[in-house]
């Protein structure tokens, strides 16, 4: 978590604490929450996300991100908080604030209470998933409370999903066009199984990939795991657009994949003995 200069949360106004947001606009959703109203908060978020044009998979991602941040405020912060969502032309911007004093010991006690002694619990919490699904995430924490801001880009008009398969220099190139999401990810997964039956050198050409949701991201992770489990198989992701590569880094998933700038370069590399 980062703390802003004077350790205070952003001023309480209609404008979110992010220069990317429309400073003058009113939020499309402004809702207080506590432990008893997380369900209604999720229902309101999914309704507004869908209304704003987020595809079903992205709307689910927004819901889990807001829920995790709100639940964090309830459990480790003031016990209640406030969600505001603004809509700009390009994105939905969500701010979750609470005015609590996140006491380090209380937070630790709360976490300890959640542990089930028989099972090994993994470090980390909902925040890592928030970073995986949101386009941008920022946190501020100070004496007067905490504030988390996440943004979800609204899909720009683009080509529909398509998957093209061709052979190049002794390897198989799968080119993805359009969004890799809840609706299309299953096609990539099925094709991956077919390809791995025929060939163990694979280039995934993502030059024309326009975006993904968690289902799309999961299908890439699963594809890499299938490749890793196949003896001698290799897969290189080629031409991943810069903003999506940046997202991979933020999600701490970049190291799982081998990237190349172009399909031609990837085909050369993947075919090397």
Partner 1 sequence: MTISADTQITDLTVDDHACLTFGEPEDLFDLTAAFVRDGLDGGLKVVWLSDATPDRATAELARRGIVVDEALASGQLVAASYEGRLLAGQVFSTGQAMTWLAREMATAGDRGLRLAVDMSWALGPVTGVEQLPEFEEKVAAAVAGTTVSVLCQYDRERFDPVTLASVAAFHTRSVAAATYYADVMLRICRQYAPPGIRLAGELDYQAAESLALALTEAIRLEGDVTVNMAPLAFIDVACARMILDAARGLNPGTPLRRMILRCRPGLAARFVLLGAAEIPAVRLVTVDDH
Contacts with partner 1, residue ranges (CB under 8 A): 35, 38-39, 42, 56-57, 60, 63-64, 67-68, 71, 75, 114, 116, 118-122, 125-126, 129, 132-133, 182, 185-186, 213-215, 217-219, 221-222, 225
Token code pair at residue 78: 């003031």
Token code pair at residue 74: 């309830």
Nearest distance in Å: CB 120, partner 1: 6
CB 71 within 8 A of CB 39: no
Nearest distance in Å: CB 54, partner 1: 13
- Cα angle 69, 75, 78 (rounded to 5 degrees) comes to 90
Q: Please list the residues that pair with 93 across neighbouring strands.
A: 86, 151
Phi and psi at residue 120, to the nearest 5° = -70, 130
> Judged by CB, which is closer to partner 1: 30, or 39?
39
> Judged by CB, which is closer to partner 1: 155, or 168?
155
CB 210 within 8 A of CB 175: no
Nearest distance in Å: CB 15, partner 1: 30
> Judged by CB, which is closer to partner 1: 60, or 98?
60
> Judged by CB, which is closer to partner 1: 129, or 264?
129
Pairing type for strands 201-212 and 171-180 reads: parallel
Longest dimension (CA), the chain: 61
Nearest distance in Å: CB 261, partner 1: 26
Token code pair at residue 230: 């196949």
Nearest distance in Å: CB 264, partner 1: 30
Order the strands of the 171-180 sheet from edge to edge.
Answer: 162-168, 171-180, 201-212, 234-238, 259-260
CB 130 within 8 A of CB 69: yes
Nearest distance in Å: CB 225, partner 1: 5
> Judged by CB, which is closer to partner 1: 122, or 272?
122
- Cα angle 266, 197, 159 (rounded to 5 degrees) comes to 55
- CA neighbor of 99 nearest in space, from 32, 155, 159: 32
> Judged by CB, which is closer to partner 1: 71, or 195?
71
């Amino acid at each position: 978590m980062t703390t802003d200069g004077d350790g205070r949360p952003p001023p309480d106004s209609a404008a979110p604490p992010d220069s990317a947001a429309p400073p003058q606009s009113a939020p499309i959703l402004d809702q207080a929450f506590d432990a008893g109203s997380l369900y209604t908060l999720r229902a309101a978020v999914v309704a507004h996300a869908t209304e704003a044009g987020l595809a079903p998979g992205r709307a689910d991602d927004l819901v889990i991100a807001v829920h995790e941040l709100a639940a964090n405020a309830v459990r480790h912060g003031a016990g209640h908080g406030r969600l505001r969502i603004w809509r700009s032309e390009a994105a939905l911007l969500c701010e979750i604030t609470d005015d609590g004093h996140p006491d380090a010991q209380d937070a630790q006690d709360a976490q300890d209470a959640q542990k089930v002694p028989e099972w090994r619990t993994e470090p980390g919490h909902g925040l890592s998933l928030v970073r995986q699904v949101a386009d941008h995430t920022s946190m501020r924490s100070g004496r007067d409370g905490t504030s988390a801001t996440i943004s979800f880009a609204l899909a720009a008009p683009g080509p529909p999903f398509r998957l093209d398969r061709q052979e190049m220099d002794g390897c198989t190139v799968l080119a993805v066009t359009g969004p890799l999401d809840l609706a299309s990810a299953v096609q990539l997964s099925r094709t991956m199984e077919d390809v791995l039956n025929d060939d163990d050198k694979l280039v995934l050409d993502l030059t024309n990939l326009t975006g993904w949701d968690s289902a799309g991201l999961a299908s890439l992770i699963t594809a890499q795991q299938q490749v890793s489990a196949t003896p001698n198989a290799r897969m290189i992701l080629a031409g991943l657009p810069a903003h999506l590569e940046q997202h991979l880094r933020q999600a701490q998933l970049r190291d799982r994949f081998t990237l190349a700038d172009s399909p031609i370069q990837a085909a050369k590399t993947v075919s090397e003995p």
